[in-house]
Amino acid sequence: MRVARTLTAGLLAAGALFTVSGAAVADAPAGTKGQNGDPTEAGTSFRTATAVKQDQKATADGTTGDYLYWQFPAGAGQRPTAKATVKLPEASARHGAATWQLDVFDGLRRRQACAEGEQTKRVSQQDATVTLSCTLRAVRPYAERWSNDPLPGAYYIRLTVADGPDQDMGLPVHAEVEATAEDAGGKYAEGGELGAPLHAGAVSEPEDGWNGSWWSDRWLWTVGGAVLGALAAIGGYTLTRRPRRA
């Protein structure tokens, strides 16, 4: 009996170990990459969102009705843009128009408003592709807790069809996604900064760091203002000084 109990306990422990391992694999971010190193899969939730770098193109095959997730980094002073192009199923296989949607969330999974771009688009049955984009407000180095301002850290892209014929759900689609960021300018270089990114996720730190580069166009205005002030002082002195007597 003791041998049987010991053997049973061992089998149960082994089963639990494999179950935990399987769950860990399921929760890990998708990481399949192509020959050029670009990701070729998308996650199916925030937890499994595929990590992409800025200016890196990612692709994924899925089905109509799936939720596809990616994550990318954005630092203070940057204005990030997420863009997605979806190759739709053959028109002969579809049964009507559909609405596709691209959403961007911050590290706390708060949906961020798009300052520019077309994040929702209605496509007809004859359309072959649909392109969506969302440009966020400038990422700030610091914000009040109650605000919803973008902060440094990982951002999540979610792509899905928001509305369409039930018969079309499950049809194959191919998606291409890219996240870019441009310098928003020195006017967003506020005092204070976060000690750490809001949520780093599985992404790597941006090239200029989470808190942005030390360089800002404010330096140009500061130096330019100082030079103009000095020239004005010299000019004023030259005009107002008294001429010397012979």
Query: Which one-letter amino acid corresponds to residue 156?
Result: Y
CATH architecture of the domain with range 26-225:
Sandwich (2.60)
User: Are residues 90 and 155 in contact, defined by beta-carbon separation less than 8 angstroms?
Assistant: no
Which segments of the chain have a pLDDT < 50? 1-28, 214-215, 217-221
**Residue 5 confidence (pLDDT):** 42
Q: What is the pTM (predicted TM-score) of this model?
A: 0.75
Q: What is the pLDDT of residues 51-103, one digit of tens each?
A: 999 999 999 999 999 999 999 999 999 999 999 999 999 999 999 999 999 99
CA separation for the pair 32, 44 (Å, rounded): 14
Question: For residue 205, what pLDDT is reported?
Answer: 92
Residue 18: per-residue pLDDT: 37
Domain regions of the chain by residue span:
26-225
Please report the pLDDT score of residue 148 as a whole number.
Answer: 87
The DSSP bridge pattern shows strands 129-135 and 78-87 to be antiparallel
Main-chain dihedrals φ then ψ at residue 126, nearest 5 degrees = -90, -15
Q: Are 46 and 166 in contact (CB under 8 A)?
A: no
Q: What is the DSSP letter of 114?
A: P
Q: How far is CA 75 from CA 127, 128, 144, 205, 209, in A?
A: 36, 35, 17, 8, 6
In contact, 102 and 179? CB cutoff 8 Å? no
